[in-house]
Each structure stands twice: as structure tokens, then as C-alpha cells.
Amino acid sequence: MHKKIKPNPAIFTQNSRIDISFNESNRNVWIENSVIPEKWAIASDHVITGVPENDWDIHIPSGICIDIVPVGEKGYAVRPYGIDDAFKGDIRHASTLWMGQPVSEWLQQRNLEITDLGGQASDLQKCKLFPYVSSEEEIEPVLKWMINEPGNDRGETIWRTSERFSADDLMDFAFLQRLYTQRKKLREENFKALENNYERSVFYQLDLSDVAAEYARMGLTVPDTVKDSSDRMTRIHNNMLRSRIFSLTEDKDNAKKEEEAAFSLLRDGLVNALRHSKRTPSLNVHPDQIVWGRSPARIDIAGGWTDTPPFSLFTGGNVVNLAVELNGQPPLQVYVKPCQEHHILLRSIDLGAAETVTTFEELRDYKKIGSPFSIPKAALALCGFIPEFSENSFRTLKEQLQHIESGIELTLLVAIPAGSGMGTSSLLASTVLGALNDFCGLQWDKADICSYTLVLEQLLTTGGGWQDQYGGVFHGIKLLQSEAGFEQKPRVNWLPDYLLTHPEYKPCHLLYYTGVTRVAKSILAEIVRGMFLNSAGHLQLLDEMKTHALDMAECIQRGDFTQYGQMISKTWEQKKAIDPGTNPPAVEQIISLVKPYCNGYKLPGAGGGGYLYMVAKDPMAAATIRKILLENPPNNRARFVEMELSTKGFQVSRS
């Protein structure tokens, strides 16, 4: 490993220990599986491979390459050559080069004859050029003699008296296992050096899933916890790398502990980015008024997952999605009204559940996944009804409600099945926050509501990105784009709705509830792990998804209906590539029935179940799809749902 920033971009080192200092003249240098001590002097145009531990004092002229090949249990073949040598041709011809010069010149400089090269060979590839030495100490003098010191008597003696190999011979006599052993040792050193110098090295920019596998395979000690003063993303990478190594070495307790620490750091970063202003909720309605908030659902059509931290924190995200009403109504509805008792009454119409909250502690109990009231509790907390988010100080929740002279009754109605893939939980959170914003006079705009939704999901430990809430809170079809950084505030770029509203195309957009459900949290956690670990496969796919969103936006602007459907299918292929569980057999069976009649199709959201969005080739094909699925329902829950592009997004009104 080279310990400083390289002064020339054409310097490459791999699995090596390098103690020299490079300079600007060192261009076109490749060093692999080698030890280069400080006494060496190099120039340019070198390939240096296989050099063992040494203390040589040697100067390598420009254009000269060195390959030290292990032979047998202890010996080596010394193989220098010129970077432009072709290793073929008659050695008697001036056009046949070795060490960058005609073979005859090299021989003349050393008072050698062609016959000294051994045998009857005339082709350079078959000439006995490369001496065998039994120890590292003999390499230095013979190498010097061969490359630039023809007067080195000891080197000449070694060359003349040793057994020699041709380039052809070395293919048969090279002992590759010794090369692998040396590479392994140097690779271990490099990993630990990169790790120890992480503040200035690329260690935490590597594919950490591969690094973890290498640490486990080589038996290296787990990297130490980085300093608290390190930037947050480095600390997250460190925790997740440690977690993966512990997991690979069967230390499940420490693996879980480190992973939880990584996710906690991510949550804290996102929450802290919006924690700078605390709230002062008040009663902003008349005692008999009801605040009614409602939101459409969201269908993502390109770029999904690129909005998800930590990827969006590194590079920003691009997503194209639709806000849609189902069966003529916004499917997510929230009602908030004052009540005389100084408590908070939570109700769910669709779940038939109710809960009365009387203390801060009960509001803080919002992390239970599957609880019917986790979302409204977290929303109330963010609105300032717990001390952490309140500008004023109150000893109890009752005291705070007495201060605003009212209790709160909050009722939920979710007209979408669980696990639908339509952004339900995020949009319910946005709808609750939006209704409470109006009820409490917090004066948030739609972008603020979406930002606080991202924080709310981190508080719930469900994670997630920003596209769900932006997809429904903001109306129509749009390209959403965010920049890198913990404070994710996407730009909303509205796109023409021609392909979804024109009478020729509107009947071609079909939405079918498959009756198959899947919990998104487990999907999200696994993909986020890949992001934390810089998994090359994940990051490449996410970059492609990000570009695809821009291509989709351009397609919509051009009004190309056929390509729109094809690009929906490309989105589906990308989703399946990033998560194999996206397309379970039950869903694939449904798709197989309608595929011939579609330009494109996909499951919204993380996939695995929920709704199937189809773009039929034409209205007749749409009618055929309806007929097929009505006659062949996969289960007793499956059904068509009428979808229509929302022209308003989130709405709030009062009685």
C-alpha cells in the first residue's frame, strides 16, 4: 500500500507494500503483489509484480518491467523485460526487442553471443533468458546486471552459472501457490493499513460486503470502533462492517448490536437535521369544528429506492411517481376535533380499535410495529406533544392539554389493504401530520409535512425514503429530485398528465389488488444494509434506477405511450434485480395471464404483493385483461380498483 496521495493518476498499486515516495514523473506505473523498500528508485512505464521481501538498493530505468516468479519451494526466476516487448521474433533481427532494445545490443553490452542464450532457439519466446536463483539475496545483483549494470560481476556470474528458463518454460515451472501466499500476506497488511488510516484512505469507500468476507476468510481482527469525532456516515459504515464480520463469524449478539448502532446513527442524523425548531401547538379551531385531512395513494413508476437513505444522502435521488385516487376517493383520511376531557383519544375506523393516551410515556410508546396507533402517536410527538419536540415545558401531558384548553380526538380511516405497496404508512403519517398542522396552527407547508414524515418514519424505526409522502401529498405526475445530505428536500417537477388523462389512454391504466401482502420493513432493512456496506451490486443498480427516472420523465414529456409502458416494465426488472423477493410465484402467475396484452406492468412500492399496475396496449387489450382476471381470480381478496390521477394531492378542510 502506498501511504500518500498519488501525484499522477496513472499510478496503480495493489496488494503491495510501498515505502518509496512517488513524484509527478512516475507515470504509467503498475505495482502488484510486491514489496518496494525506500532504497528503490523508479521512473515511468513500469509493471512490477511478485517482488518478495527485500532491502535492495536498485534503480529501475524507464520502460523496464520486473516479474519475480517463484519456482519450487524456495527459488525464483528473475524475469525483467521492456514494457513494449512483444516476446516473439527472431533474436537475430534488429526488430526483435528485449528490455526495449534489439536483443543483439543487449548481448553486445554484456559481451555475450547468441549461443549464450542456450540451445538452438532463435525465437525470443523460447530463449533461456531468465536465471533461476535459490535465494532473495541473489536476485538483486543479477537483476541489476540484466537491466542497467552490465559491469556487475556477481550478477554476470549468477546469470552465466545458473539454470535458466525461457518464457515458455515459466508457464510450466512457476509455483503459483507461493505467489498466492505472498499476495495473501500483503493483502492482509493492506487491509489493516487502510483500516488504521481510514480518515485519509478509501477504506470506508470500498465494497464493505467484500471487505467483511475477506476479513472473515483471512481471520483478521474486527476493525476497532472509529472515533466519535468521525463523520456520521463513516461511523455508520464502521458499525455495519463490524456487524457483517461478526455475522460471518457466527457472533450473532455483536452483529445485532452493531447493526442497531448503524441504524440508530442514521435515524439520529435524519431527526437532528429537522430538530432545530421545536413546536408550540395550540388550539386553532372552534370547539365544535372538525379538521378533515385526506390524501391520495402513490404509484412509483421509476427511480424507487433511490430516495432511500443512506443512498439518497450520498448522491440524492430521482423518482417519478403518480398521486392517484381509488374508486373516486382519497383513500387515506384523518379527522381531528377537540374534546372536553384533557386527554388524547385515538380511533381507527377500519381496524375497529381505540386507545386513550394520558401521559407523555404513552405517547413515546410509538415504536411498536403493527400497533394501530404508532403513526398518530409519533405524529403527535413531532407536533410538540412530548417535551423533546416542545418549545414550552410542561410536567405532564394533561398540563399541556389544559394549557391549550382542549383534549384531542383523532380518528383514522385507511381504505387500502395493508402491504399494498401504495405508500400507505408514509401517506397516513403525512395525512395525520397535515391534519394536526391545521388543528394546532403549526403553519407547515406541504414540503414541511413531507420532511417531518421522513423523520416520523425514522422515529418508528421503519425507515424509508421520501418518495411515498411526496408522491401523494403533491398532486399529479412528477419527477422528484433531491440533493446529497441529511436534510432531504426534493424538488417537485410536474410532468404533463396527457398519457394518463387523454381519452385514448386513460382506460389503459389498470390497477388490480392481488390479495398477496408482504411487510416492507424486512425488504427495506436488507437493501439498506447493502447501501451501508457500499455493495457494488446495489449501488450500480441504484445509479441505473436514478438515470432511468430521468429517462422516464423525458418519455412522459414526449407523450410516447408505447415507450411509457416499456419503461414501466424496465422499472419492474430493476426492482426484481435489487430484491429477488419482489416477484413471488403468486404474482408471477397473475402476470403470466395478462402479459400478452400489456405494454408494461409492475407492483408499486417494494413489491412482493399488494397492487399490480398494468399499462394495457390499447382499450381493447384493457377490456381483455379485465375479463381474464375477473374470470380467473387468484384468491377471494383479488379485485380491480378504479384509479384516477389526483389533481389536488393532500387536502385539508374544516366543518
Nearest to 290 by CA among 409, 446, 437: 409
Confidence of residue 610 (pLDDT cuts 50, 70, 90): very high
Asked if the model's pLDDT at residue 369 lies above 80, the reply is no
What's phi and psi for 573, nearest 5 deg?
A: -65, -40
pLDDT tens for each residue of 492-502: 999 999 999 99
Asked if the model's pLDDT at residue 120 lies above 80, the reply is no
Q: What percent of the chain has pLDDT over 90?
A: 80
Kindly report which listed range (15-24, 118-127, 371-380) carries the lowest average pLDDT score. 118-127
The mean pLDDT value of the chain amounts to: 92
> Is 381 within 8 Å of 387 (Cβ atoms)?
no
Regarding whether 213 and 171 lie in a shared domain, the answer is no
| Domain termination site, one of 450, 476, 495 | 495
pLDDT tens for each residue of 440-454: 999 999 999 999 998
Say if 89 falls within a structural domain. yes
Nearest to 341 by CA among 407, 281, 387, 416: 407
Say if 148 falls within a structural domain. yes
Say if 463 falls within a structural domain. yes
Domain span at residue 47 reads 11-178
Using CA atoms, how far apart are residues 354 and 375, in angstroms rounded to an integer?
Answer: 14
Confidence of residue 519 (pLDDT cuts 50, 70, 90): low
Q: For residue 276, count other CB atoms closer than 10 A to its CB.
A: 7
Confidence of residue 4 (pLDDT cuts 50, 70, 90): very low
Q: What percent of the chain has pLDDT over 70?
A: 96
Nearest to 163 by CA among 118, 98, 111, 199: 118
Question: Which DSSP string corresponds to 613-627?
Answer: EEEESSHHHHHHHHH
Kindly report which listed range (10-19, 83-92, 364-373, 573-582) carries the lowest average pLDDT score. 364-373
Asked if the model's pLDDT at residue 119 lies above 70, the reply is no
Name residue, grid cell 514523473.
Answer: 25
Report the pLDDT averaged over residues 163-180: 92
Asked if the model's pLDDT at residue 237 lies above 80, the reply is yes
Confidence of residue 2 (pLDDT cuts 50, 70, 90): very low
β-strand 598-602 against 611-616: which pairing, if any? antiparallel
Using CA atoms, how far apart are residues 350 and 417, in angstroms rounded to an integer?
Answer: 10
pLDDT on residue 276: 64
Report the pLDDT averaged over residues 71-90: 93
| Domain termination site, one of 495, 524, 559 | 495
Q: For residue 120, count other CB atoms closer than 10 A to its CB.
A: 6
Say if 610 falls within a structural domain. no
Q: For residue 157, count other CB atoms closer than 10 A to its CB.
A: 13
pLDDT on residue 458: 84
Using CA atoms, how far apart are residues 531 and 3, in angstroms rounded to an integer?
Answer: 28
Regarding whether 478 and 419 lie in a shared domain, the answer is yes
Regarding whether 63 and 174 lie in a shared domain, the answer is yes
Say if 188 falls within a structural domain. no
Say if 91 falls within a structural domain. yes
Report the pLDDT averaged over residues 562-579: 96
Report the pLDDT averaged over residues 433-440: 98
Say if 636 falls within a structural domain. no
* Count of structural domains, the chain: 3
Q: What is the CATH number of the domain that holds 428?
A: 3.30.230.10
Say if 73 falls within a structural domain. yes
Regarding whether 405 and 268 lie in a shared domain, the answer is no
User: Which residues, including other chains, have CB under 8 Å from residue 212's CB and lie 6 or more apart?
Assistant: 241, 244, 245, 248, 533
> Is 387 within 8 Å of 418 (Cβ atoms)?
no
Report the pLDDT averaged over residues 160-186: 93
| Domain termination site, one of 449, 476, 495 | 495
Using CA atoms, how far apart are residues 412 and 355, in angstroms rounded to an integer?
Answer: 12
Regarding whether 430 and 383 lie in a shared domain, the answer is yes
DSSP state of 220: P
Asked if the model's pLDDT at residue 5 lies above 90, the reply is no
Report the pLDDT averaged over residues 375-389: 95
Regarding whether 219 and 80 lie in a shared domain, the answer is no
Regarding whether 476 and 428 lie in a shared domain, the answer is yes
Confidence of residue 3 (pLDDT cuts 50, 70, 90): very low
Asked if the model's pLDDT at residue 210 lies above 50, the reply is yes
Confidence of residue 525 (pLDDT cuts 50, 70, 90): confident
Confidence of residue 354 (pLDDT cuts 50, 70, 90): very high
pLDDT on residue 24: 87
Residue 48: which H helix or E strand, with range? Answer: strand 46-49
pLDDT on residue 275: 62
pLDDT on residue 8: 67
Regarding whether 214 and 104 lie in a shared domain, the answer is no
Regarding whether 165 and 254 lie in a shared domain, the answer is no
Regarding whether 352 and 411 lie in a shared domain, the answer is yes
Regarding whether 250 and 303 lie in a shared domain, the answer is no
Confidence of residue 1 (pLDDT cuts 50, 70, 90): very low
Q: In what order do the strands lie in the sheet with 598-602?
A: 598-602, 611-616, 509-513, 639-640
Name residue, grid cell 425514522.
Answer: 458
Q: Please, what's the b/e burial string for 573-583 (b: 16 or more CB within 10 A of its CB; e: otherwise)?
A: ebbeebbeebb
Ranges of beta strands (E only) in 219-312 are 291-295, 297-302
Regarding whether 476 and 429 lie in a shared domain, the answer is yes
Question: Which DSSP string corresponds to 120-150?
Answer: T--BGGGS--EEEESSGGGHHHHHHHHHT-T
Confidence of residue 371 (pLDDT cuts 50, 70, 90): confident
